[in-house]
Amino acid sequence: MPTVTICTDAFVGLAREEAKNLGMPDLPLVIIEHPIGGESPTVIDQRAEDALPQVIAALTGTAAPSPAHHATAADTSLTFAGDDEVMEGFHARRWTDGLPFVLPTEARVRAMVAGSGRAASDVIAVVPPRWAEATVENIAVNAVMAGCLPPHMPLLIAALQAACDPAFGLYSVQATTHPCAVLMLVSGPVVKELGLNFSHGAFGPGFRANAACGRAMRLVLINVGGGIPGDGDQSTHGSPAKFSYCIAENEAATPWEPFRVTYGFDSRDSTVTVFSGEDPHNINDHVCTSAVTTLTVVGDTMTTIGHNNAGSVIRGDVLVAFGPEHAHTIASGGFSKRDVQQFLFEHARNKVGKLKLRAMYKAGNWPDWVDSTDDEALCPIVGQPEDIHIVVTGGPGKHSAFIPTFGTSKSVTRRIEGRTG
């Protein structure tokens, strides 16, 4: 089918890479000035005039298609003059997150592979937007660079499998202008086995397992998936969460059933759940002493129209990470986890008239029962209560966190298989 793709010039790199990575390097592009969103009809008319000759040439031209050629494997090893040259060479190739890293020598990588309990050549996933295979060895190289230990490998493998589940939509999560990162939420015995932090500073620095595992995921997304800022990652601002984003459930402080049990796993299982999360949005409430008042503050924080879930209602989900003190205030009021989800589903809503300020989010993404003709009607931020996920994490203090997501991505949970202790 003769096809032509109009592309604003800010996206040419992504478009060419995507065409190449999907086996169509000669796919014609029509390049016009960026942007088109938010521009007047007059500007759009000009863009169309600019596109016209290119469209005609692309659909009726005589450019000879190049012959088919076959993919080739990248070099698997490289030799440098010394340690500093490795560091500078990797940075120059954009194979890092910009920080120093552990040199992935063969011995270190072999030890990391052994931690997985699998063969080095096992293919774990195909990672977009480069659509490259991630073998156990590929993951291990990036894990070494990130500062992981061999017992971290089963967690990394499960997390990458979850991120590459079609429901997660990793291509868009990687390539979007939105600042979403891949948030890993770990639940179960593996939390203590790996020394993952679940208390003070749950989202922050200071703990090797969280920092290194989250960083390893990011390096895999960059180096295997091609999520390089400005190329496969078109995020306008990026995010601090794109350095490392791995948290753990504070199960001892949870007044409800553990996170994994809510989703049908055995309490003896360990799981990792991936979310296409923005940075955490703080929820500060030092005053409320009842479940309803506390949850009202939480719901209000969730009800801003600048995040993607306000509008992309049906296809997304969100995470609320309660601090233990807020969780106990709420549970003491007799609220189960399901009650919390229902309350927030009913109260974290925006008026249709307010949502209309954001023209890109249309009623087609809203539940059928929301009257899109009534500006006073209320629209939730997700399609059902179950799409508001609840976890308890963090230390003492009257804070919780709301994590909006990409909006057209669903979180995915996988059991962590293999030895981690």
Partner 1 sequence: MAITVLSPLGTNRVDARPITPRLRTLDGVTLGVLNNSKPNSLLLQQRVVELLSKRYRIGEVVTKQKPSAAIGAEKLDVYAREVGAVLTAIGD
b/e burial code for range 116-146 (CB count within 10 A of at least 16 → b):
bebebeeebbebbbbbbebbbbbbbbbbbbb
Smallest distance from partner 1 to CB 378, Å: 22
374 lines the binding site for partner 1 (CB under 8 A) = no
Task: Give the binding range for partner 1 (CB under 8 A) out of 137-145, 277-285, 336-344, 389-397.
Answer: 137-145
196: which 2 tokens?
């993952």
Q: What's the rounded Cα separation, in Å, for the pair 220 and 324? A: 32
- In degrees and rounded to multiples of 5, residue 192 shows phi and psi of -80, -35
CB of 29 to partner 1, least distance (A): 8
Sites for partner 1 among residues 9-28 (CB under 8 A) = 10-11, 14-15, 20-28
Tokens of 174: 């990687």
Q: Does residue 268 bind partner 1 (CB under 8 A)?
A: no
Contact range with partner 1 by CB under 8 A, out of 35-43, 206-214, 279-287, 391-399: 35-43
Q: How many angstroms separate the CA atoms of 215 and 98, rounded?
A: 11
Half-sphere exposure of 296 (CA within 13 A, CB side): 7
Residue 133 in contact with partner 1, rule: CB under 8 A: yes
> E-assigned strands of 309-387?
318-322, 349-351, 378-380
76 touching partner 1, by CB under 8 A: yes
Query: What is the pattern of x (binds partner 1, CB under 8 A) and - over residues 210-229?
Result: ---------x---xxx----
| Residue from the set 51, 111, 149, 297 that interacts with partner 1 by CB under 8 A | 51
Q: Which residues contact residue 68 at a Cβ distance below 8 angstroms, ignoring those fewer than 6 apart?
A: none
- Beta carbon of residue 67, minimum distance to partner 1 (angstroms, whole number): 7
Is residue 98 near partner 1 by the rule CB under 8 A?
A: no
Q: Is 357 in the site for partner 1 (CB under 8 A)?
A: no
Q: How would you classify the pairing of strands 271-277 and 181-187? A: antiparallel
**Is residue 118 near partner 1 by the rule CB under 8 A?**
no
**Nearer Cβ to partner 1, position 85 or 300?**
85
42 near partner 1 (CB under 8 A): no
Cα angle 30-33-37, degrees, rounded to a multiple of 5? 105
Asked if 119 is part of the footprint of partner 1 (rule: CB under 8 A), the reply reads no
Query: In the bound complex, what is the minimum distance in angstroms from residue 332's beta carbon to partner 1?
Result: 40
Of the pair 36, 119, the CB lying nearest partner 1 is at 36
Residue 409 in contact with partner 1, rule: CB under 8 A: yes
The residues pairing with 185 across neighbouring beta strands, listed in sequence order, are 247, 273
Backbone torsions φ then ψ of 342, nearest 5 degrees:
-65, -45
Q: Please, which of residues 165-204 interact with partner 1 by CB under 8 A?
A: 169, 172, 176-177
Q: Name the residue nearer to partner 1 (CB basis): 142 or 262.
A: 142
- Which residue type, as a one-letter code, is found at position 253? A
Q: Is 306 in the site for partner 1 (CB under 8 A)?
A: no
- Residue 229 has φ and ψ, to the nearest 5°, of -50, 130
